[in-house]
Structure 1
Amino acid sequence: MSIEKVAHLAGVSKATVSRVLNHNPGVRPDTRAKVLAAIDICDYQPNLLARQLRTAQSHMLLVLIPDITNPFCSRVVQGIEAEAEAQGYHILLCNSGSQLRREAAYIALLTGKVVDGVITMDAAACLQELKELIGDAPWVQCAEYDPSIAASSVAIDNKEAAFETVCYLASKGRRRIALVNCDMRYLYSHQREEGYRNALEKLDLNWGSVAYAENVSCDAGSAALRELLMLPERPDAVFAVSDVLAVGVIHAALEAGLRVPEDLAVVGFDGINFTSSLNPPLTTIEQPMNRMGARSVQLLLNRIRQPNSPVVHEVLPWKRVERASS
């Protein structure tokens, strides 16, 4: 269905229909409503290529994520998509598995103006290679970032959160606090471990141990706890760097006949929804996942609209949600 048909049905000019499609604020609400109703009736789909040629913008944003099955990534993407739609944009999602070859094919869309900018959630260890591909295109680093790269970022203070978590467990009388960590390509893994070790030193806790899970999965979290339980002196608390790993820790603890939290306190990280339904419900460090995604879009659009705008490294607040597992 053509734009002419929509204009005729709504009783307005083609220019007015175009202004509505391009989210121009100078259209009266009643006129906008008539045009939108006509679009619904006609099932009109705007010619994105033609719009791209006219405006040099596609109103598409590329989002590179390492693993869509990770609940943290999924929640952040929800925030990205909602904010993008509110701003008149759509997203193109690349579930990259941190494979540079796959990402390169998507990033090539930047040069063809199929997408206007990119949001990455890749491991910090991969970002220098991505920088070579992205070049000077608008870019925001979400959750993971390399501070040496001239691209804005949105994250939380992982070191502070980990430090305060160990202090919290110590305040509960725990003296043998272990850490279940994961992929050290990620900045958050380094920062959370650094916060953990700083807290042990600050509190003068002489017992400490780190188990490294093979991946972010329940099975890997269970295997990490089994490793810790083989130590001459087992932990009385575990801080896991993700809720998914923490779930595995609880499963393995219960299988070993341990009571949670009486014998082993467990704290996770992220604030994934299902953690409140566990038995026992999981204490966790809640990240503002949707907000993180939304701010990434806002910073990216600011860069697209104002190419000379300064780089911003935004740190969002986190909070501890205390439940029965600790």
Structure 2
Amino acid sequence: MSIQKIARLAGVSVATVSRVLNNSDTVKPKNRERVLQAIKESNYQPNLLARQLRTARSSMILVMVSNIANPFCAEVVKGIEEQAEKKGYRILLCHSGSDIERSKSGLRLLTGKMVDGIITMDAFSKLPELKMIIGDAPWVQCAEYADTGAVSCVGINDVDAAQHVVSHLADSGRQRIALINHDLSYKYARLRERGYKSVLHVRELDYQSVEYAAELSSAAGKAAMEKLLAQQPRPDAVFAVSDTLAAGAMRAIEQAGLKVPQDIAVVGFDGTELAEMVSPQLTTVQQPSREIGAKAVELLLKRIENPASVAERVMMDWRFISRASA
């Protein structure tokens, strides 16, 4: 089925069909409906290569994720895909593992014009290297962000969120609050640790203990918690920088014959479904993960449409959800 046959079937011009296929706002609603119905009835598939040659665009976005196993990253990707499809784009997903060589392989799609832009969720420490490779191509960074620069980014205020968590624990009478953190090459890890330490300083709490998980996994959270439990005195509260780490910490506490929150309160971060699946249910900071993904697409499309547009830094709202674990 050709575009000409679609036009005859719908009783409109070829130009009108073309505008519908390219999501133009200039088509009358009645004509748009007739074209869409004709496409549906004929099972028409547009020739993407021909469209790319005609428009010099692929309608594809490269999404580079540092850890697809992280539930937070997975939710952000869902938000990216949903918003991209609404705007007539598809995504190509690349699991970089924050490895610059793996990133280079995916980024060749930019130079080959196979994608129109890129959304990354790599560690902040990797951004200068990525910038050298990506150059002036449309680019948006999710979750990790620079305070200044030419890269648009979207995330939350990690310092404020961490301060709220530790203040909540201190207000509930906890005196020995520990932190389970992750790789400090990630800016969010540094910022959440900054928020943790700042509240301890202001509240004049002498106890301070930070364990660094080898990866964002339940097993790594469990191992970090076991190290904290071996300390004397042991903590009476733990703030973990992800729900996955917090779930592992809760398992270690239970296996040590202790109870959450009676002996040790636990708070996570991200607000993933996992927080409601563990027992007791996990107190956490909920990030607007899908909204972050959707906003990243909006920012990227602005750069695609106008490469000279000014980079934007968007901070989205987070929400503290109090449950039985703290």
User: Normalization by structure 1: what TM-score?
Assistant: 0.97
In 1: Cα distance, 2:26 partner to 2:116 partner:
24
Secondary structure in 1 aligned to 2:119?
strand
Asked if the contact 2:149–2:311 (Cα under 8 Å) also holds between the matched residues in 1, the reply is: no
Secondary structure in 1 aligned to 2:85?
helix
In 2: Cα distance, 1:256 partner to 1:250 partner:
10
- Cα offset for 1:102? 2.3
The 5 A counterparts of 1:1-326 are: 1-326=1-326
- Cα offset for 1:8? 2.1
- Cα offset for 1:86? 1.2
In 1: Cα distance, 2:74 partner to 2:103 partner:
18
5+ residue gaps, structure 1, are none
Secondary structure in 2 aligned to 1:295?
helix
- Cα offset for 1:148? 4.9
Asked if the contact 2:244–2:274 (Cα under 8 Å) also holds between the matched residues in 1, the reply is: no
- Cα offset for 1:34? 1.6
- Cα offset for 1:112? 2.6
Residue type of the alignment partner of 2:168: Y
- Cα offset for 1:253? 0.6
5+ residue gaps, structure 2, are none
Secondary structure in 1 aligned to 2:107?
helix
Residue type of the alignment partner of 1:129: E
In 2: Cα distance, 1:295 partner to 1:204 partner:
39
Q: Which has the higher mean CA deviation after the structures are superposed, 169-178 or 27-36? A: 27-36
In 2: Cα distance, 1:128 partner to 1:147 partner:
13
In 2: Cα distance, 1:26 partner to 1:240 partner:
51
In 2: Cα distance, 1:150 partner to 1:277 partner:
40
Asked if the contact 2:59–2:88 (Cα under 8 Å) also holds between the matched residues in 1, the reply is: yes
Residue type of the alignment partner of 1:54: R
- Cα offset for 1:260? 0.6
Q: Deviations over 1:131-172 (max 9, x none)?
A: 111000111111012335411110111111111111110000
Aligned residues: 326
In 2: Cα distance, 1:207 partner to 1:101 partner:
41
- Cα offset for 1:271? 0.2
Q: Percent identity?
A: 54
In 1: Cα distance, 2:70 partner to 2:261 partner:
26
In 1: Cα distance, 2:15 partner to 2:101 partner:
42
In 2: Cα distance, 1:102 partner to 1:7 partner:
44
Q: Which has the higher mean CA deviation after the structures are superposed, 64-73 or 101-110? A: 101-110
Residue type of the alignment partner of 2:55: T
- Cα offset for 1:28? 1.6
RMSD: 1.2
Secondary structure in 2 aligned to 1:252?
helix
Q: Which has the higher mean CA deviation after the structures are superposed, 121-130 or 145-154? A: 145-154
